[in-house]
Amino acid sequence: MYNLPDELLDHICSFLERKDLRTILQLSSRFRRLAMLPYLSHFGISEASIQSGTLELADSVSPLPIVAGIKPIQRLVCFPESGALSYLRHQTLAHVLSTIAPIPDIMIHDKYRTLSTRNTAWLLWCAHSSANDMLVVKGPAIYLSRPRSAPPIHWYQFPRHSGRFWTFMVIFATPFLLVYLSIINFAIHLLWVYRRLFDPPWSQEERIILDTGSSLRFSGYMRIQNLPGKLTLVTLTEKFESLVLGPIRGLPPTAFSSLLASLNLGVHLHLLKVETKTGLIHSELMAFLKRHPDIIDLHLEPDSLQSSSLTTMSVVPDPENQVIQLTAPSSYIPYLLPAAPNINTVSLPFTPVPKRASTFRRITFDLVAYHTALTALAALPGTHPLVLTLAFSVTAASLPWLDLPDAEAMDAAQYPETSLVRVNHLWLSKHGHMRFCASDIRALVRWLGLFPGLQRLTFSPGAVEKIPAAECAVLVQAICGACTGITTPQDIHFHIPS
């Protein structure tokens, strides 16, 4: 048989079953070379797919080490259309992934089984490089897990109690409590050192579970991406409806940029929120919105973007972008509106006045940024009506209508409110515990008259303090007289608590 030509042996292999070809692969290097492609063809793997670097496994992981030995795999898709998978299938996959070179992009599907937290952590540990930091995206949250050889020390602190007895203990027994805490924490440290020296090494599965908590369960979909800079990105579940981006302690800015550039959460993502001190770059946010055109609600908190990244370069409007609700500081609005041509609701929150700056109230409200935001909103192309929400801190310095001159001396063209012909509904909200009083509402009547298309006025629940019904009727009449579009009391909602 060894004297037969390769062409004849190759023809014979084409008639053999999968289990027979697997036996032939183990005979010699020659038979392995001849039987390899016929064996892989039983799994739907061709030579072209091997050369492309993308491998799709339908029901078995047996071809994985064979293909990895031929050419490095760049993208692996596991079980996209399979039925219910056994737990043994995931165990086998994890074992094979631990024996081959790391794959940059791995996608695992399982529509019928939920893998436990411990088994998911073990699968992640086998699939990613051991020296990489791991970022796990699960639901709206992002978790960071960094390689380390020992668990952290959990120090014992003062118990959280209240009441007169506890106050008495704090005042008269503080020295005894300090001694007690010192002894307990010293014992905790000795126990940690003992376990570090004599116990078995801390398993990295335990480390991943500790960093990510019980939310690590895998159900439906998992994607593992090994990114540059020793970073592994893990995305759990496919149908994301919301994502919250916030500052991740210990993650450098370059790694955060790599994370944002690699995230692709599909058409189910509808809400994106960026928290304070995230330090997001404006261009990276625009690229993320471009990849997720189905986001309808974009929420940016103050100091969520890097101010230096806000440039005046034009942003080409994307007609496929579905952002219809935008909440952002007024200084961000001119740089965000061009990327949201279909927007219909804009919310502008203004930073509350710090107590220590209460004597310098006039510097706490950025009137220039407020006017710039309204000017950008007035320049937004389109004809559909807009809802504008303004959230103020109710102080003498944070209300833009308090500095209006007399009607005879006021040049209406200098105020951007007069250009907001598409704003037909105005919401007024408040920061802090202070509410709008009757004098505040009387002062804003002339300011409301600057909006030419205003048809409805709503104060958010809890924003207005209790006002007598007779005085409310006077305020409603004054607002109706100042705004031509507001004709009936039903167009004004104070939401006054009863």
Q: Which of 494, 497, 492 shows the shortest CA–CA distance to 466?
A: 497
Q: Is residue 404 part of a domain?
A: yes
Alpha carbons 339 and 321: distance in angstroms, whole number: 7
Q: Is residue 378 part of a domain?
A: yes
Q: Quick one: 19 exposed, middle or buried, by C-beta within 10 A (0-12, 13-18, 19+)? A: exposed
Q: Can you count the helices (H) and strands (E) in the chain?
A: 17, 16
Q: Is residue 22 part of a domain?
A: yes
- For tokens 């107590």, the residue is 355
- Give the type of residue at 312: T
- Domain count of the fold of the chain: 2
Mean pLDDT, the chain, whole residue set:
80
pLDDT of residue 159: 56
Strands (E), 295-415: 297-300, 325-327, 345-349, 386-393
Q: Is residue 135 part of a domain?
A: no
List the CATH number of the domain containing 8: 1.20.1280
Alpha carbons 3 and 6: distance in angstroms, whole number: 9
pLDDT of residue 358: 43
Summarize pLDDT for 116-175 with one digit per residue, the tens: 888 888 888 888 777 788 888 887 888 888 888 777 776 666 555 555 555 555 566 667
Q: Is residue 363 part of a domain?
A: yes
Domain extent for 453 = 344-493
Q: Which of 371, 368, 342, 379 shows the shortest CA–CA distance to 447?
A: 371
What residues in the chain have per-residue pLDDT under 70?
Answer: 1-15, 18, 32, 81-88, 154-174, 177, 214-215, 238, 312-319, 351-365, 394-399, 402-403, 405-410, 412, 498
- Contact (Cβ atoms closer than 8 angstroms) between residue 331 and residue 372: yes
- Dig out the tokens for 310 from the structure: 């806000």
pLDDT of residue 357: 43
pLDDT of residue 164: 56
pLDDT of residue 353: 45
Summarize pLDDT for 57-93 with one digit per residue, the tens: 887 888 888 888 888 999 999 887 665 555 567 788 8
- Contact (Cβ atoms closer than 8 angstroms) between residue 64 and residue 95: no
Q: Is residue 419 part of a domain?
A: yes
Q: Is residue 166 part of a domain?
A: no
Q: Is residue 187 part of a domain?
A: no
- Contact (Cβ atoms closer than 8 angstroms) between residue 461 and residue 428: no
- Dig out the tokens for 381 from the structure: 């192309």
